Amino acid sequence: MPLDREPEAMVLDLMANDPIVIAADLPIAQVAKVLSDYDIGGLPVVDSTGRLMGVVSQSDLLRYWRTGGTTSDSDAVLARDVMSKPAVTIQGSASLREAAQLMVERHVARLVVVGDDADVPLGLISDSDLMRAFPR
């Protein structure tokens, strides 16, 4: 007799809904503040209409700093200048296993969750989220 298996969890079961997003023209000093204030590792970057443009992460800010960027010009440098693009996205209906595979293949720690309109962020799922769901 075959064993009953639970259906595999989907991204939408675990994603953070209503993600904090930032405008593409936000100075990176403010980006760093948002990341720190919310204790998060990355944020979707959107244009003035709410369309997804990329993702800015702690790693992006560190890369900027490492390559000679200074805090004195951090008000002149904008999120659009340091963000990773395009954003790596995934459908909410994808499995957690697919999310993990995409993160590994693309070397990212978070995915922007989208629906039918791939330009509108609906949520985020991170490697930390996946670790909480990791089979034990």
Q: Is residue 4 part of a domain?
A: no
CATH of the domain at 40: 3.10.580.10
Q: Which two tokens stand for residue 57?
A: 């992460």
Q: Which helix or strand (DSSP H or E) is residue 31 part of?
A: helix 28-38
Q: Is residue 6 part of a domain?
A: no
Q: Is residue 70 part of a domain?
A: yes
| Contact present, 33 and 22 (Cβ < 8 Å) | no
Range(s) of the domain holding residue 40:
11-133
**Per-residue pLDDT at 122:** 94
pTM of the model: 0.85
**Per-residue pLDDT at 3:** 43
Q: Is residue 61 part of a domain?
A: yes
**Per-residue pLDDT at 5:** 45
Structural domains counted in the chain:
1
b/e per residue 9-32 (b: at least 16 CB within 10 A)? ebbbebbeeebebbbbebbbeebb
